[in-house]
Amino acid sequence: MDFQLSDDQIILRDTARDFAVREMTDVARDLEDANKPLGREYLKRYAEMGFLGVNVAEDLGGLGLGNVEALLVLEEFAKVSPAVAFPIFESSVGPVRAIEHFAGSGLAQRIVPKVCAGEMIVAVAMSEPDAGSALTDLKTKAEVSGETITINGQKRWCSGGGHADGYVVYVRMSDDPGAKGIGAVFVEADAKGLSFGAPEHLMGFRGIPSADIFFDNVQVTAENLIVSAGGFKKLMEAFDLERCGNATMCLGIAQAAYETALAYVQERNQFGKPLADFQAVQLKLAEMVMQVEPARLLIWRAAQNAADGLPSILDSSLAKCFANEMVRDVTGAALQVMGAYGYSKEFPIEQRLRDGWGWGIAGGAIDIQKINIAASLVGRRFDQRK
């Protein structure tokens, strides 16, 4: 068992770190202030650097590396801002991977290379007004007639809603109850009958647009089918990788918060000496790093165990749940150590606390992850409706 990164992994990580800090720090601040998404010109730069689709197969435009490598790149961008990291998240652990793994070759060849080239943004549309944690209660319906799929319904809390070029839409494709009737379809943003609600105003995630999506007899071709009814398990397998990306966003935010606090307490003097000389501050620093490092190990374990495939629900849920709680604790501790400077919008800690909190809601709430963990331990799912 080797806990060391290879020389190639270190080079990739350091390249991503240098680019993210040098070229994206000021951009991230602008996105936060204006609450606007990353400009398309930066996607082309990401693609040129090989940061999009790091773990996507080479014949689909990716680098063909493993999940660990993809998450190394994602962490470095997340340390700067989730907004500048989000295109990497979407291309390496997001909905495009469901297309790569489960869709027909025609759809995969049409969509995935464009994402890796920075020419297309793909988002996932899962949740609905009455289907969040209880995702199998979704009502958005897709009817197949010959070579045409017609979709009706509404989606909510779609990161990328109104901004992406296409959506992986979870739909009910049969009258079978629960998960048995659920599949997924790809819908282009310019499809007739597709419309969007007003942009959401969230506590954090500024720079990551979100809006309701409405489907009014939206029609796509049969080639846009990703998985048919009964394919919910496959969709969740792809989502297990997205959970690792969620956890890595938390890791990047927490690592950056810790590093900011560490530098601050060595520069800030009170009572005639640096804050770092006070034992109470030393304990805070130790507690922060004691949470950050285990999160990184859980994430890497989930990614490594999956190799270039999809991680297990146990590994991914452990990593996500721990990282979701960890980032709230670490950013809170960093803010407290920095006092008024941490609370001020002139400094980055308050943003990291707001952004960090959101990842424990997105992608399956913390308590849902704990239920997943317990179900894996006892070897059966728990019916929340009984």
pLDDT of 1 strictly over 80: no
Shared domain check, 267 and 361: yes
pLDDT tens, position by position, 52-104: 999 999 999 999 999 999 999 999 999 999 999 999 999 999 999 999 999 99
Identify whether 320 is part of a domain: yes
- What would the two tokens of residue 34 be? 């204006």
Per-residue pLDDT at 86: 97
DSSP-derived secondary structure letter, 131: B
pLDDT of 195 strictly over 70: yes
Identify whether 24 is part of a domain: yes
pLDDT of 308 strictly over 70: no
37: domain CATH number? Answer: 1.10.540.10
Mean pLDDT (whole number) for 248-252: 98
Shared domain check, 336 and 238: yes
Given 173, 203, 229, the domain boundary residue is 229
pLDDT of 295 strictly over 70: yes
Full domain range(s) for residue 276: 233-378
What is the percent of the chain where pLDDT is above 70?
Answer: 100
Beta bridge partners of 151: 142, 218
> Distance between CA 343 and CA 85 in Å, rounded?
24
Identify whether 384 is part of a domain: no
Domain count, the chain: 3
What's the pTM? Answer: 0.95
Shared domain check, 372 and 250: yes
Identify whether 298 is part of a domain: yes
Given 94, 116, 138, the domain boundary residue is 116
Identify whether 33 is part of a domain: yes
pLDDT tens, position by position, 200-215: 999 999 999 999 999 9
- What would the two tokens of residue 204 be? 């954090």
pLDDT tens, position by position, 4-23: 999 999 999 999 999 999 99
> Distance between CA 206 and CA 33 in Å, rounded?
8
DSSP-derived secondary structure letter, 370: H
> Distance between CA 232 and CA 136 in Å, rounded?
9
248: domain CATH number? Answer: 1.20.140.10
Shared domain check, 215 and 141: yes
Identify whether 385 is part of a domain: no
> Distance between CA 270 and CA 98 in Å, rounded?
53
- What would the two tokens of residue 248 be? 């890595």
Identify whether 41 is part of a domain: yes
- What would the two tokens of residue 331 be? 């950013």
Given 201, 229, 257, the domain boundary residue is 229
Shared domain check, 283 and 198: no
